[in-house]
């Protein structure tokens, strides 16, 4: 059994949290209809909604590899089994010139833990499926709001090679929802189509892996519209999301920084088609493995 622990990351979750003002002061706009419980599922980084509200999350994801997937020459297959336990912490404010100040316990707005399982099924040498499911629980700190959260779905990956270029077509169809201890439940149905590309950069040094440049492009339809209330009289419906990103990684080994290991390191930009949702995300893994 292998265990991997990703670094704490700035969570960037537009469709995920109670939207929080950047100053940390209360705005007289009423509660956001988008529940914070979505935060454990959607992306990582920082989001701005129509320029007047920001969302901050720190997320750490312990991972355990129980079995590696494989496909024999005679067609026999071995399933891959992965256990994950994302831990998400919401922040009221994040100062870029003093990031350690965000660790103050009084700055934490919620805590959520969402253990789950991924099963990778190699169909043939280029096609793999990845059913996934998770269920967890979260609590708003400084308040009484708490909820059960869940998600499930399936990812598909088609992998190709053209010269030195590796590229993959990745699709996702799933459901994400929450059931609060008090109040109505809600869910959305994300459907995503994406492309990822890997290309070698330079020549490997002695005892070093080939350096790879990764980039991605993805489009996600939300399914059920998400409505953000940045103004008590104006609602903004978010129906979709575009993402473009780039990262650097190694061909056969992770990038190590102190005790932390990364499959890749990079940044991405996300926006909705109507431009109301914008943000910068951190890229640490393939979309198929996230």
Model pTM?
0.79
Could you read off the pLDDT of 131-186 as tens digits, one per residue? 999 999 988 777 678 889 899 999 999 999 999 999 999 999 999 888 888 888 88
Please indicate whether residue 241 or residue 45 has the higher confidence score (pLDDT): 241
List residues bridging with 136 in a β-sheet.
149
Q: What is the pLDDT of residue 131?
A: 98
List residues bridging with 108 in a β-sheet.
91
Domains of the chain, earliest start first: 2-283 (2.40.128)
Could you read off the pLDDT of 106-136 as tens digits, one per residue? 666 778 899 999 999 999 999 999 999 999 9
Could you read off the pLDDT of 4-60 as tens digits, one per residue? 444 333 333 333 333 333 333 333 334 443 566 666 676 566 766 665 556 677 778
Could you read off the pLDDT of 59-79 as tens digits, one per residue? 788 899 999 999 887 778 899
């Amino acid at each position: 059994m292998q265990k991997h622990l990703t670094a704490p990351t700035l969570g960037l979750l537009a469709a995920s949290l109670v939207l929080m003002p950047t100053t940390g002061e209360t705005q007289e706009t009423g509660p956001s209809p988008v529940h914070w419980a979505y935060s454990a599922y959607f992306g990582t980084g920082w989001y701005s909604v129509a320029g007047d509200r920001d969302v901050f999350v720190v997320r750490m994801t312990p991972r355990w590899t129980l079995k590696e997937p494989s496909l024999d020459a005679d067609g026999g297959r071995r399933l891959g089994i992965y256990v994950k336990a994302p831990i998400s912490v919401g922040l009221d404010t994040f100062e870029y010139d003093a990031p350690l100040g965000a660790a103050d316990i009084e700055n934490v707005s919620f805590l959520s833990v969402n253990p789950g399982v991924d099963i990778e099924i190699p169909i043939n040498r280029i096609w793999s499926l990845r059913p996934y499911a998770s269920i967890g629980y979260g609590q708003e700190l400084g308040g009484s709001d708490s909820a059960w959260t869940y998600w499930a779905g399936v990812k598909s990956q088609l992998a190709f090679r053209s010269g030195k270029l590796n590229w993959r077509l990745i699709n996702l169809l799933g459901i994400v929802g929450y059931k609060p201890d008090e109040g109505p439940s809600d869910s959305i149905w994300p459907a995503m189509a994406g492309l990822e590309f890997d290309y070698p950069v330079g020549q490997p040094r002695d005892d070093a892996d080939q350096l790879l440049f990764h980039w991605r492009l993805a489009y996600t339809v939300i399914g059920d519209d998400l409505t953000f209330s940045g103004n008590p009289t104006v609602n903004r419906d978010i129906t979709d999301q575009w993402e473009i990103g780039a990262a650097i990684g190694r061909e056969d080994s992770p990038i190590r920084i102190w005790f932390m290991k990364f499959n890749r390191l990079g940044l991405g930009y996300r926006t909705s088609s109507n431009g109301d949702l914008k943000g910068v995300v951190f890229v640490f893994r393939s979309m198929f493995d996230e």
